[in-house]
Chains A and B, each alone.
Chain A
C-alpha cells in the first residue's frame, strides 16, 4: 500500500491555473474510477473536492476539475485565488491496494 506520488509543492500567480499530478503503479488505479481529491487547510480536517475522477460535490467551485489517464490522475485549479493556498491530496481505491492517499501537494499562491 505505497502512497501515490504527488509533487511536494506547486506555486502560481492569482488568476492562473495549476495542475497537480498523482502517479502510481497501474494497480493503484486499476480499472476503477475511485479517484478522489481533498483539500486541507492548516489545522483543519480534509474536505472532499473531487470524487470518481471528475465529479464535484455540491458546493465545490467549478474552478476545480479532475481527470485520469493511465497511471496518473490530475487535479486542475483554474483562476487561482488566495483561498486556494492549502495542501491537496489524491486518493484511490483498488481491490489490490485498498485505499491509498497521495503524498500531498502544497499549493502556494504567489
Chain B
C-alpha cells in the first residue's frame, strides 16, 4: 500500500520558519516528480511547489517564491519543504503529492496524496 505521511507542521509566529517532511512508503519516488499542495481552512486547493524526479528542476507558486525551498532525498524516499518568512496567509493544511508521470518534469497530475500536516502562523 502506498502511503505518504507528512510531518513538521505546527504553530509558528509570523516571520518564523518551519520545515515540513513527507515520508513515502510502498513505492520508490526516485522516478517521479513530487509536489506540495496546500489548503487554507475552509478554502480551495493551492499548488505550492514541485521538484522533478531527479531534483534538477523545481518550481514555486508566486505566493511562496523566494521564501520556500523544496528538496528531496531519493535514498530516504522523502520530500521536504523549508518555509521561511511565514505569514498568516501561509496558514493551511499542507499536502505532499506524487506526480503520476514517470520521469516527468512535474506537470501533474497527482495520483497519491498524504493526509496533510497543519501549519498555523499566528502570534
A residues apposed to B, CB below 8 Å = 1, 3, 32, 34, 36, 38, 40, 44-48, 51-52, 57, 89, 91, 93, 98-104
Query: What is the total of A-B residue contacts with beta carbons within 8 Å?
Result: 66
Give A34 to B109 CA distance when docked, in angstroms.
7
Q: DSSP majority for the A interface?
A: strand
Contact status A98-B44, CB under 8 Å: no
Given known contacts A89-B44, A101-B44, A57 and B61 CB-to-CB distance under 8 angstroms: no
Give the nearest-CB partner of B63 in chain A.
A1
Contact status B115-A36, CB under 8 Å: no
Given known contacts A3-B44, A100-B47, A101-B45, A48 and B107 CB-to-CB distance under 8 angstroms: no
Give the nearest-CB partner of A91 in chain B.
B108
Taking residues whose C-beta sits less than 8 angstroms from the other chain, chain B's interface range is 20 to 34
Contact status A36-B108, CB under 8 Å: yes
> How far is the CB of B86 from the nearest CB of chain A, in Å?
19
Q: Which chain B positions have C-beta within 8 A of A102?
A: 44
- Checking B47, B59, B113, B116 against A101 with a beta-carbon cut-off of 8 angstroms, the contacting residue is B47
Given known contacts A1-B61, A3-B44, A101-B44, A51 and B113 CB-to-CB distance under 8 angstroms: no
